[in-house]
Structure formats: C-alpha cells, structure tokens
Chain A
C-alpha cells in the first residue's frame, strides 16, 4: 500500500466527515434557531402546500433569480443543473453493479461537464467585468470559482486527454466505502482532480456554499402568509403572555 493511497484514503474520510457533519451541524443550528416573527416575502403563498410549491420552484428553477437578472440566472442555473448531472454520472464509480439509469445518463453527464465550465465562465466574467459585482467580490469568491473550474477542467482532461486507470480508481472508492483499501492509481491529473474535490467538500460547510442548506431554512421564503389566521410564536415572542388576561378582560 503506497503512502499516496493512505494519504488520499484518509483525506476522503476526513472530507466526507467534514462535509456531512458540517452540513448536518449547520442545518441543526438553523432548525434550532427560533424565528420569532412572521416575515414572508411576496409572492407569499397562504398555505403550507403553497409554500412547498414555492420552495420547489425556487430550488429547481431559481424563480426569483429569473425575475431578477436573466444573465445570472442563465449562468447560475446552467452551472447547477450541469453539476447535478455530473455528480449523478459519477455515481458509476461508487456503485457495483452500476444502476441502469446511471448508465443511461452517461452521455449527458459528459456534455454537462462542458456546460458546467460555460456557466462558471459566465459567472466569473460578470464578477470581473460588471463593476457592481466586481465591487462586492472578495478573494474567496474568485477562489471558489477557480476551484470549481479546476475540478471540471481536470475531470474533462481525464476524459479527453490523459486517461487514468478507471477500473483501479473505482476499486479504490468501492474499497474506501467498505474499509477495504485498494491501491489508488498515481496519475497526476487524477490526484489533482481528487484533491480539489476533497477541498471543495471541506470548504462547503465553512463557506457561502452553505446557501444550499440555507435556502431551505430561509423564513422569507418558507413561511406561509397566514399571520392573522394562525398565531405565530417562537423564541422571544413565545414568552409574551396574554392569553389569561385577555379572557379575563
């Protein structure tokens, strides 16, 4: 067993633990933090069912963003959908036998790799060339885009330029999942790709990527507009006591 294999095995255990543990912890904190007042933002549905539909259109179609800015919507939506397709395509490296639908989407997954780069390039161009967006960008915002572009580019390079030993790679990941470590192919491009993916997993719960769990907890989006019909109370507002006095009065 090479030192490299051990290093990458440990890296991926750590990265997976930080990603899952971090997102779970943050979600728990969001869920536990009270929202004392009703602050839905229009167009706010009046029922829970309506809220579910609203969240669905926000998360799958980026509806508010579409209304807001067509370019950001186009680049952002293409990037996210492509990322999803690419992630699903990668399931074949983690399943044996490979699920039928995963086999089916393989060609789309490859195109999605290019679409992902295109979307990221569009977002990055806005960050550099639109003066308002340039003003609000921190170094970390550029680095995040660089990281994602590098992941996509190194992945595409392995597909089209320098192939790696994909069978051995799959054995490595299948082994990781059952604690039966297998040798990792020592191809430089693969090592770069994997290290960057691990880095992304680690920064996920420590960065603005928290928008992924965050959006589900956003009170302005996930509250129903029913303040008059249902008395809302949470946190400090739950400690306001009136009920007894009112009935007496």
Chain B
C-alpha cells in the first residue's frame, strides 16, 4: 500500500477538478481459486475470457430490465458527475457515476448496439480487452453501490446495478475479489461472515449475559437456537464481538427483555450480511438468504427481526419476500421481516420501555443515514420511515441530538466510504478518501454544536468509521450503535 494523504477538510465541500488516473492504482486483492470455486466461479481467468465476458454481459442484460434500460438511456447530461463520494474524495474522473457506467456501457455498445458495432469511435464503444478488464477491476471496486447517484439521475439510472453486473461478469470469467468471495464462502460453509462456529457463538453470548448481569443486575438472556421463540433475530456477525457493534446487540437484547418478547439467534443462520449483493450474483444471494428461511421454519418462530446492518436490511426488506418468501409461516400481524428499529420504535410509542435520557448526557449525538437503509429499503408504513424512526429512537434516548447538513443526510446521505464489499485493508486509501464528504459534514456539526457521537445502524458503517475517523483527527469511539444509546438509556426493573 503506497502512502497517501488524507484529504484536508476545508470550510465547505469543494467539487474537485478531474485528475485522470488519480486512483488507477487502487485494486483489491484478487480471490484465490479456493475462494472462487466454493461460489461456483472459475478459479482463475478462463481461456477465451473476452468472449465469455461478452456473452455473460448479454445474458445479464437479457435477464434485467434495469440493466438494459440503464445502459441504453444515459444522455451524458452530467447531473451525477459531482454526486459520488469517491469522486469528491479522489478527483478521479472514472469515479464519476456516468464514467464508471461507461466502462461497462462502452463494451455493451460495441457488441450489442448497431451504433457501437458500426461506429465504435463515434459513440465511445470499446472492444473487450485486458485494458478494459483492468479498468473494470479497479473502478468497479471503487463503487460502494450506495445509489446516491441514482437519486439525482433524471432516469433513475442506478450505478449499483451496473457495478454489480460488472462484478458478476468478472467472477464468471475467474477474476473475483478476495474480500467478498472469501466471506461468502464462510457463510455457505459455517453460517456467518466470521466463520464463527455454533459453540464459539454460544460462548460469546454467555459472556455477554455475564457482562450485562454485572452491569445492570438484570438477567438479560442471549438465546441461541431456542425452538418456539417468538422472534428470530438475524443480525450481522460483527455484532457478536466488534466494538461498537456489540453495544447494539446488548441493546436489542435489553429491548426484548424489557418488552417480554421471547427471541433467539440461530447458529445455522448467524449472519444478516449477504455479500452476494455486492458481487451481483443472484444464485449466491438466494442461497445465503435461504439459510434464514430454513432457520425460521426449523425454530418455529413467528417473526423475523433484522439487526443493525445496512445492506442486510436492503436484502431483507426489498428482496427476501422474493428470494425466500412467501412468509406464510410467520405471524401475519407483523411486517416480515421487521427491522429492530421498527420493533423498538413501536415499543417506545406504546410506552412499553422506560428510557432515561440523562444516561446519555455525556453525548451530543448526530445520526449517519446508512446508504442501503436510506436508498434501498424503508421502515414503518410511510415513505421516509427509514429516516424518521431511527431519529425518533435516538431522541427518546438522548437529550442532545443534531442533524448534519440536509444535503448530506436522508436520501441524499453520503456513504461511509466502506460499503459494497470495499471494507478491506487493501482498499484503505479509497476508504479514507471516500469518507471525505461525510467527514466534512461531521466536522461542521462538531464545530457548531459540539457533536461527539455519531450513531449509525450499519455494521459496515461502524467498522469503516472506527477505521477512518482517526485519519480525520476524531477518536474512533465517536461512532456507535443506535441501540448502544438505547442500551445506555433503558431502565430495567429489578423484577425483570
């Protein structure tokens, strides 16, 4: 990893002048054959890969209206050019959403459109070549699939769909990304991203029970594989051990405990994350999700609740019904699936939780909207519930809350810089630079309102900020779970 400079924060966010190839050197480690084969991909670059890639592109286009419409419709208006956090942080023009799309679109045009077949130079069509593949590998791993550009596109063109397709094509010719593919393999064989087997998970949960007992005196349980529980909790495995994620898990457990809801984790489906989304492969996407259906049926639960994880909530909210539904085996009086924030918010509104805001009086809190929650899903029953509900929970748990600048939150939120399968040390330069727009907005509320705590509901955001906050001269402890705040504020009665 070459040395790099952390971008300087100015008074406001500046749209940079383009610097060609500024990030051409950024590439994640390539998956080894053993990482590839477990997912059904060739171990290394196949012979005649150019032809295989072009054929795969045609197949994907014929299977996805989104891809077809998005590849045809762009008019190069430029509206998206200043919307990507990676462009704003790196100045590399290939990180402008339209230019990133064009890496794939140029090949689509060459092989699948009249104009590209006959007038390639005129319309910017390119042959599939090693140079193109290198560009794909570099720049489709500089997209966190956060969908911010799509919000601002007059045709709703979603670069995430295009980068997912590109990664799927690369996997199909034997060029995979180590980080995502190794992790997906662990879910297939063990059941979670960490490769944490059932007994180790039980040990971890026992430890948490002791910790909570010591801290509060209450017998808060962390059940595993408990048949007949009402709720199956599906949460990112980072919640089991990583800081500050684990505070969130403790918060969920306290909420269930206080509300008297029986719940369980599953050792078969001990992972909410589904990195198959990032690599755009629907076979793996379905296969990873299927474990959750199996666990829910096996344990005989009535509800499935998803913990704080951004892309997992997108997959759960938007795709589960399609991939592993219908949920006719669950209690129809609850949404399936339900977000933990929906559960907590509902209990707060019904007055079922006792919360003491003063427990968080050492904090001035802001909230980072995670991209997949904001732009890939919803909560509650009205549009925008995904923005309202977490904030209402925070307001019920803290006295001092301020939002960051409106153009950096809600549907226009900036990605943390580590989403979409990029949360790996081999991409740390990209991650630090991509965090610039968020850090800029954070800096402003730190200076104006003394914010010292940024809450989030995404495991990737939490890990990413833990890593990058120090680059911007903030303590890594500044990032925390929303349910960590709940955990602090919740009052557990002695009889409970």
Contacts and interface: CB of A to CB of B under 8 A. Distances in A.
Contacts of B115: 140, 203, 206-207
A139 B335 contact: no
A150 B114 CA distance: 24
Contacts of B319: 37-38, 227
Contacts of A214: 69, 72-73, 155
A70 B235 CA distance: 42
B311 interface: no
A126 B76 CA distance: 11
A103 interface: no
Nearest to B68: A33
B155 A221 contact: yes
B154 A64 contact: yes
Interface string A104-120: 00000000000000000
A243 interface: yes
A208 B269 CA distance: 45
Nearest to A237: B322
Contacts of B374: 42
A179 interface: no
Given A39-B161, A64-B151, A220-B158, A228 B317 contact: yes
A1 interface: no
Nearest to A46: B383
Interface size class of B (residues with CB under 8 A): 35 or more
A132 B93 contact: yes
B66 A220 contact: yes
B412 to A, nearest CB: 8
B197 interface: no
Contacts of B327: 246
A243 B322 CA distance: 11
B198 interface: no
Contact of A29 (B66, B68, B322, B383): B68
A246 to B, nearest CB: 5
Nearest to B158: A220
Interface string A33-65: 111111101111110000000000010001011
B62 interface: yes
B324 A41 contact: no
B318 A136 contact: no
B51 interface: no
Contacts of A242: 293, 324-326
Given A33-B65, A34-B63, 16 more contacts: A29-B68, A36-B282, A36-B322, A39-B158, A39-B376, A68-B80, A69-B79, A132-B82, A135-B93, A141-B75, A203-B115, A211-B73, A214-B155, A219-B69, A221-B155, A231-B326
28 contacts: A29-B68, A33-B64, A38-B322, A39-B161, A42-B375, A42-B383, A43-B384, A46-B381, A67-B151, A67-B152, A69-B152, A72-B78, A123-B77, A132-B82, A136-B81, A138-B76, A207-B115, A208-B73, A214-B69, A215-B156, A217-B65, A220-B158, A227-B322, A235-B64, A237-B322, A246-B297, A246-B326, A247-B329
Q: Which 4 A-B pairs have CB atoms at the shortest separation, nearest pair first?
A: A214-B73, A220-B156, A68-B152, A138-B124
